Structure 1
Amino acid sequence: MILLHGDGDPTTPEGLRAIYTPPRLPWLRANMVSSLDGAATGSDGRSGTVNNAVDVDVFHVLRELADAVLVGAGTAIAETYTAKGAPIVIVSRRGRIPDELRGCDAGAVRLATVAEAPGLEAAREEIGAENVYVAGTSEVDLAALLERLHEDGMRHVLCEGGPTLLGSLLEAGVVDELCHTITPKLLAGDGRRIVAGPPTDVPVSLASLIEHDGTLLGRWLVNR
């Protein structure tokens, strides 16, 4: 690994952790990957066909540093999420918990949903009412959700997408940082970009940039 911009040594586990340690708390970091031509998923609809080994290494570092992992229900299903490490917070307006995340230890899976969610009561029974965050009536109030997570001690939140959730977080003005990996692949097709939703204009500044065999791993800070 070569650090092209920023400070630190990305060639050691300790140095890599130092590069990605949040500068303050609370902190909301998003982590996304795309091909060189902008595809966030491959032909199978998963990011696993876009990423590579070095991206996975950084992915694990980000997971280790996080207090909670925030992810949309659709992405959790497509990527077959499992509960390991930091609590997984599923965002679902329907109150749906993916099958792979059912039956986990108490507190390993949380649900962020709305008062009108058809699956609200079932979710409360399944994972416990204390692990279900009702933030909003028909749309998830992401700013309110983050306040609840902070109150519960989850001050460093890692969002892993998908693109629609990231777009909503950017629209809500609550994102502090985007970690974006660009892998040296050209996929064409109609794969989604890393952000989806209404047009937005969010200025960012480059905090660090690592290169490894053509893969670029950037940390971008949101300017407020």
Structure 2
Amino acid sequence: MRVLTGAAPNENITDADLAELYAPPAGRPWLRVGMVSTVDGSATGDDARTASINNAADHRVFSTLRGLADVIIVGAGTAKAEKYAPTDVPIVLVSRKAQVPEALQGAPAGSVYLATCSRSDGLPAAREILGDEHILELGSHRVDLPQLKATLAERGWMSQLCEGGPHLSRDMVFQGCVDEVAATTVPRLVAGAYPRTTEGAPINVPLELTMLLEDSGTLFGRWALGG
């Protein structure tokens, strides 16, 4: 892995170097969206999971991003499709319908939270599964994502990593929550009708490249959101 831009040249990047290169700024809430896609823009392969396009270099950066995070934010549908399990930091599921994937329903207390809507029909079941203290009611008909970011920061979770899916990533950007996109581009073409890293109504948000790494053709960019 080597630095292409945004940092001092380095041809032999250690795990400690990676953590320094991706470190979020201190003293303020920082929400980073992690993305991976093929050169032709697909966020998954033919199994509808990111695992089919990941490679060893991407796993290394993915582990670094998780290691720097105080909390992981993910859509409930993505958590289900990607077969999420409890991690070393809390997972916050985002679900307008208050759905908790089965694989996370038996997670240790405090390892899984749910951000949902006060009018969701699924709230009673979610409270039964996770406990009322792990339910974040943020908005009535849709999840208020800026309020989610602020609520997590109030709990001391300043470094926030959103792992998608595509609709949540788009909504995070649209609602002005995102400080940075960490985007991996793997050197593959897959064609097909697979999802993109963001999906939903059109948005037009400028990005500024702040760092670019390369490893055997895989590119890793840090992109700051412009004004």
TM-score by length of 1: 0.97
- Tell me the equivalent position of 1:21: 23
Match runs of 1:83-98 below 5 Å: 83-98=86-101
Structure 1 distance, partners of 2:217, 2:143, is: 38
Q: Residue deviations 1:98-120, cap 9 Å, x none?
A: 01101111110000000111111
Match runs of 1:1-224 below 5 Å: 1-8=1-8, 9=10, 11-24=13-26, 25-224=28-227
Structure 1 distance, partners of 2:30, 2:68, is: 11
Structure 2 distance, partners of 1:51, 1:207, is: 23
Structure 1 distance, partners of 2:86, 2:120, is: 23
- SS for the counterpart of 2:83 is coil
Structure 1 distance, partners of 2:124, 2:191, is: 43
Mark the runs of 5 or more structure 2 residues left unpaired by the alignment: none
Identity of aligned residues (%): 46
- SS for the counterpart of 1:14 is helix
Moved more, 117-126 or 72-81: 117-126
Size of the alignment, in residue pairs? 224
Mark the runs of 5 or more structure 1 residues left unpaired by the alignment: none
1:148 deviation in Å? 1.0
- Report the AA paired with residue 175 of structure 1: V
TM-score by length of 2: 0.96
- Report the AA paired with residue 155 of structure 1: M
